[in-house]
Amino acid sequence: MLTHTSPGRDVTFPPTSEGHVRVTGSQRLEDSLPEKMGRTKIVQERNYLGLSCEAIILIGLCMADAISTAILVSAGLASEYNPVMAWCLNRGVAFFLLVKIATFIPFVTVCEVLRRQDPIRGRIFIRWAIGAYVLAYVTMITLVNTRVI
C-alpha cells in the first residue's frame, strides 16, 4: 500500500504494476493515478498523530471513563464495580490508570495495524469496539443505579 499524506489528510491506495506513484504537494492525487486503478479505489480519511478518528474517539472514551472514575471514587461519589479494577484502584490512582491504559492500547494498536492493511475492515472493528464500549458503559450505569421496586 502506498500512502500520500498532506496536512489533515491521509490517502491510501494499492500499488500499481508500474511501481510507485509519486504525488507532489501542488499535484492533485487523482490526476497522478494510472487510469487502470480507477478513481473509486482511493480511501480518504482524516489522520491525527498517525491514528484514525475512530482510534482517537475510542482512546478518548476510555481515558474519560478512567479519569472520571478515579476522580469520583476519590471524592467518595462513586465506586468501581469491576472487582479487578477496584483492586487496582485500591493500589493507587496511578496504578489504576496504568492498568486501564494497558487494557485498551493493545486493541487500538491491532486495529490501526489492520486499518493500514485493510482500511475498511480495520475501521469496522474499531467502530464496533466504540459501540460495544458505549453500550457496556450505559448498561452498567443503568444496572448499578436502577432501584428494584
Provide the whole-model pTM: 0.64
C-alpha cell at 7: 496536512
| pLDDT attached to residue 99 | 95
Contacts of 104 (CB under 8 A, 6+ apart): 58, 59, 62
**Residue 138 vs residue 24, higher pLDDT:** 138
| pLDDT attached to residue 35 | 53
Alpha carbon distance 81, 56 (integer Å): 26
**Residue 32 vs residue 59, higher pLDDT:** 59
